[in-house]
Amino acid sequence: MKTSARNQIKATVTEIIGGTVNSEVVMDVAGTPLKAIITKEAVSEMGLTAGSEVYAIIKASFVMIAKEKPGKISTRNVIETTVSDMIEGPVSCELKLAMGSAVLTAIITEEAAKELGVAKGDTVYALIKASAIILAQ
């Protein structure tokens, strides 16, 4: 499978919380929990159960960054990471974020990177809406 999404992260489903239309799929990524919201129909069509292996596909531009852990927030995924690499450009900045043995890529504006004072080695929080994650097998 080839996609333009920078993040195609292998995960193991640990729990599925079924709803009327959508289900929350809780996964483990190298010891880090990750939650996705997909349709109940997609869960059935993919045959997802606890223990299923999936790929969480996330566009790098869907990953928001915070220097401090947010308080009350509706975003289901707030993941503590470490900036392992950083490529700065005139418009955008690419951050490689270590979360255990997995790497998450984020693209933020160069202006935002400077305002946040993000540097290689920093601890940052990756914020990802559960509805922004696509699952694949």
- Specify the CATH number for the domain of residue 35: 2.40.50.100
CA separation, residue 98 to residues 19, 38, 82, 115, 119 (Å) = 32, 25, 5, 21, 13
- Domain range for 103 is 7-136
The pTM of the full predicted model, rounded to 2 decimals, is: 0.95
For residue 117, tell me if it sits in a domain.
yes
Kindly report, residue by residue over 60-87, the tens digit of the pLDDT. 999 999 999 999 999 999 999 999 999 9
CA distance 7 to 98: 12
Is the pLDDT confidence value at 2 over 90? Answer: no
CA distance 103 to 99: 6
For residue 51, tell me if it sits in a domain.
yes
CA distance 26 to 133: 11
Q: What is the mean pLDDT of residues 5-19?
A: 97
One-letter amino acid of 42: A
For residue 2, tell me if it sits in a domain.
no
Number of domains, the chain? 1
